[in-house]
Structure 1
Amino acid sequence: MKTMQQLLLLLTAASSAGGIPLSRAPPSNKLLLVSFDGFRWDYDQDVDTPHLDQLGRDGVKAKYITPPMLTMTSPSHFTTVSGRWVEDHEVVHNMMFDAKTNLKVSHRETLTRSEWWDNGVLPLWITAQNQGLKTGSFYFPGGAANYSGQAVNRVVVEDPKPPNETEWRQNIDTVMSWFSDEDFHLVTLYYGEPDRVGHAKGPDHQDRKTIIRQIDRTIGYLREAIARHQLNDSLNVIITSDHGMTTVKKRPQVEELVLNKYLNLLKLASFEILDYGGFGILTPRPGKEQEVFNALSKAPNLTVYKKNELPESFHLAKSERLPPIVVVADLGFNLNSRLIFYVNKGDHGFHNGEMDMKTIFRAFGPDFKKNFVSEPFDSIHIYPLMCKVLQIEPAPHNGSLAVTQNLLHSGGGQRAPRSVCLLLSLLSLLCTFTLL
């Protein structure tokens, strides 16, 4: 017995000296989260997509995903990586703004402004890092910000120049090297298509179908790269998006919305963002809130809300950043404040219950089932699923693992920590020693 105790102490000391903590060790499996901006749930149904089709056989597929209300890039992406509703994480627009000072910052500049993103809610990168994991963000919205003074371990900020297919593949090669050569555990990878082509040409245009074929080839290249870097047995991949896309309704088919026809914005409003797709916000001048509400209530093809009366399902009413008046246009009707200068042929920002705003979900890897089709679910539930795969304790969130647990193998995301494996090996060794 004395010899066994000595062996136990010796092996325990050796494991500690080797840098393997007995409390927790990094997971054996890793996670790549990929977002294709504006990939509507049905975009693969009118295009030949052999690689996406193969993913359906090799992994899991949801019939569609419902993004949060707001169906915009930054609010939706931050819900995915935080598991919080927009009213909680407060990234309430693509543009950073201050209704009191009339500050408005472009979307691209907002991506690097920490004060817009850091509101007390920790995204997955930081939660994972605080539990010993190594994380990276490649172009992903929110990845370039600091959170309570903490930065993501590795960040590449989106290039304003639209990339070509070769650059898409180079980005994949870079991310794969992070996993295989530098032992990253979590990386988020963002592509700006098919959102760009959806805005410029509309969701029904042939160019959109061309981009979907390019995305499909990129997914094929991703799978080749995973195999080339010998990550098939250790890397889980989730592919999703932030919102869908719909055709903008214009003259002569419809009468376009110009809100200044229904109220004098100069006289009644002190702040506004009303030329940004299907979602608008407005701060009335003191004492004018009811007048503004009544005037906009008479406008066609939109719904106006007082912030404190927003439907509970929107999860927006508790926001401190949103102004007192919120306007949501009917599907396809862009909001114009004074002039019609909106050139987009496709847009989003509309009610998240509209099918054109729904988006995609695919996942594959060692923890996920094969050839499994899931019923639709809200994107907020992706966060606890990612935490489960990474074997980390989630930060407070509004999602539920019960919604997505069935996407995993029984036991998926439940591998024993390395410390437990060490102790089991030690026990086996002791048993063998005793038999000898």
Structure 2
Amino acid sequence: MKLELFVVLVAVTCATSKPLNKATTGKNKLLLVSFDGFRWDYDQDVETPHFDQLVVDGVKAKYITPPMLTMTSPSHFTTITGRWVEDHEVVHNMMFNTKTNLKVPHKKTLTRSEWWDNGALPLWITAQDQGLKTGSFFFPGGGANYSGQAVNQVVVEEAGHPDDNETEWRQNIDTVMSWFTEEDLDLVTLYYGEPDNVGHAKGPDHPRRIEIIEQIDRTIGYLREAISRHGLNDSLNVIITSDHGMTTVKKRPEVDEIILNKYLNLLQHASFEILDYGGFGILTPRPGQEQKVYDALSNAPNLTVYKKSEMPESFHLAKSERLPPIVVVADLGFNLNSRFIVYVNKGDHGYHNGEMDMKTIFRAFGPNFKRNFLTEPFDSIHIYPLMCKLLQIEPAPHNGSLAVTEDMLQYNGESEQTKVGQMCRSSSF
């Protein structure tokens, strides 16, 4: 009888063995912070005491891999939906329409719901549908409506807004902290446009990039002070990540830059194109011209041309209805130019997500995260189910897996859980 009772107790314990820590008042809150264009190694050649302390106090991934495409809007929307780009259909920073030739710059798309609302529910809406309150501060996608539903608290970044004002960065943190404490929000996403702008303008190897990383590090220090000041240390989990990395653009006289019109008369053979946008380009051939366009561009150096229907499965782009039939990906550091060279950026992204220069960061700390825990690299798509676990909500359909990130979580009675887990694994029932 004693053995039977023991078996029953262990079985029940195994079934319920991983409750997350909770603050005494209920579920813990979550802050997701994204620093645009923060390459995985940007803190390795800079004095970053606050980032260094995060390694001691929380979780660090060696790096994470963004989705194809390594662009701001597609990558951020993968993080907040847990869906591949072919599923959520935010397939470029620019909003476009291949039939009308509409092209809308990135920041002007931020409130255009028709670009974002394609059936894949972002975490804000899923959380709100389950009784939580959410907010978005400058985060891509946060300013749109989803089936008519808006995020509870929203601040949208306007075109032309400066991205590098450190005083404003701190004010934004203060606003977010007030959302948690005064408005009782459960989830907030906070976006910063650096170090992306500096990476584009100066290149990843420029001293100004080091200065902006130092500024980001000070901001992390201010964030942690603000969390303490608002009494959130025991109830707020924080994830810090990014959307893509950055690489140096190769230019003359070191290389011959790519001008695609040398290999194909674009005006004659294409009805729509976005080919002057970093390392990634899209093109709609005129009727009956697809093979000719593909063959001609295949002769261009330092790039790879794909028919959408034949792209590698690992890209998770082939099923997209919005993406045009021809996709062009430049070799790392080569810039795509359609007709002539007007490109001034010294750094860029949009290249293959397998390139190390496109990898980015992941840090996390708070009551539900282990301390001094280094995890192996993983794909950014797995952040979504982790966030759902932290918020204790049922996720919407997604392509990620909690199994990839669950080891970084701290559970109630961790040492006892380890013993119980061992018993569960060794039991035959």
- How much has 1:26 moved relative to structure 2? 9.0
Partners of 2:99 and 2:196 in 1: how far apart? 31
Conserved? CA contact 1:367–1:412, under 8 Å: no
CA contact (8 A) 1:97 1:104 kept: yes
Counterparts of 1:235-384 in structure 2, within 5 Å, are 235-384=236-385
The whole-number CA distance in structure 1 between the counterparts of 2:67 and 2:161 is 28
1:410-429 CA distance string (max 9 Å, x none)? 3599xxxxxxxxxxxxxxxx
Quote the offset at 1:257 in angstroms: 0.5
Aligned counterpart, 1:81: 80
Extract unaligned runs of 5+ from structure 2: 1-23, 415-429
TM-score by length of 1: 0.88
Q: Distance in 1 between matches of 2:321 and 2:229?
A: 48
Q: Distance in 2 between matches of 1:266 and 1:29?
A: 56
Residues 92-241 of structure 1 correspond to what in structure 2 (within 5 A)? 92-159=91-158, 160-163=160-163, 164-241=165-242
What secondary structure sits across from 1:179 in the alignment?
helix
**Amino acid aligned to 2:114:** E
Structure 2 counterpart of 1:30: 29
- 3-state secondary structure, aligned to 2:337: coil
Amino acid at match of 2:340: L
Structure 2 residue 388 is matched with structure 1 residue 407:
no
Aligned equivalents of 2:68 and 2:141: distance in 1? 18
Q: Find the aligned partners of 2:27 and 2:297 in 1 and give their Cα distance.
A: 56
1:359-391 Cα shifts (integer Å, max 9, x gaps): 000000000000000000000000000000000
Distance 1:152 1:192 in 2: 21
Give the C-alpha shift of residue 162 in structure 1.
1.0
Instruction: Work out which of the two has the higher radius of gyration on C-alpha atoms and give 1 or 2.
Output: 1
Q: Which residue of 2 aligns with 1:391?
A: 392
Matched, 1:51 2:50: yes
2:246·2:358 contact (CA, 8 Å) conserved in 1? yes
Deviation of the 1:27 alpha carbon: 4.5
Whole-Å separation in 1 of the counterparts to 2:335 and 2:322: 23
- 2:238 aligns to what SS in structure 1? strand
Letter in 2 for 1:342: Y
Query: What amino acid is aligned across from residue 52 of structure 1 in structure 2?
Result: F
Q: Deviations over 1:219-278 (max 9, x none)?
A: 000000000000000000000000000000000000000000000001110000000000
Give the C-alpha shift of residue 28 in structure 1. Answer: 2.3
Q: Distance in 2 between matches of 1:209 and 1:335?
A: 27
Question: CA 1:400–1:287 in 2, change beyond 3 Å: closer, same or farther?
Answer: same
Contact 1:27-1:390 at 8 Å conserved across structures:
no
SS in structure 1 opposite 2:400? coil
Moved more, 323-332 or 97-106: 97-106
Shift of 1:305: 0.3
**Aligned mates of 2:61, 2:75 — CA distance in 1:** 18
SS at match of 2:405: helix
Could you say what secondary structure the match of 1:47 adopts? coil
Take 1:57 and 1:26, find their aligned partners in 2: how far apart are those partners? 27
Distance in 2 separating the partners of 1:249 and 1:232: 45
CA distance in 2, matches of 1:260, 1:361: 40
Following the alignment from structure 1 to structure 2, what is the Cα–Cα distance between the partners of residues 375 and 26? 34
CA contact 2:27–2:392 (8 Å) conserved in 1 = no
Residue 26 to residue 318, structure 1, CA distance change in 2 (3 Å):
farther
CA contact (8 A) 1:31 1:185 kept: yes
Q: Which moved more, 1:320-329 or 1:25-34?
A: 25-34
Q: Does 1:39 align with 2:23?
A: no
Aligned equivalents of 2:136 and 2:127: distance in 1? 13
| SS of match in other structure, 2:240 | strand
Q: How many residues align?
A: 389
SS in structure 2 of the partner of residue 182 of structure 1: coil
Once residues 250 and 155 of structure 1 are traced to their aligned partners in structure 2, the CA distance between those partners, rounded to angstroms, is 40
**One-letter amino acid of the structure 2 residue matched with residue 209 of structure 1:** I
Structure 1: any 5+ residue segments left out of the alignment? 1-24, 414-436
DSSP-derived class of the 1:46 partner: coil
Closer, same or farther in 2 for the Cα pair 1:161/1:26, shift >3 Å? Answer: same
Percent identity between the two aligned chains = 84
Distance 1:255 1:82 in 2: 39
CA drift of 1:195 comes to 0.1
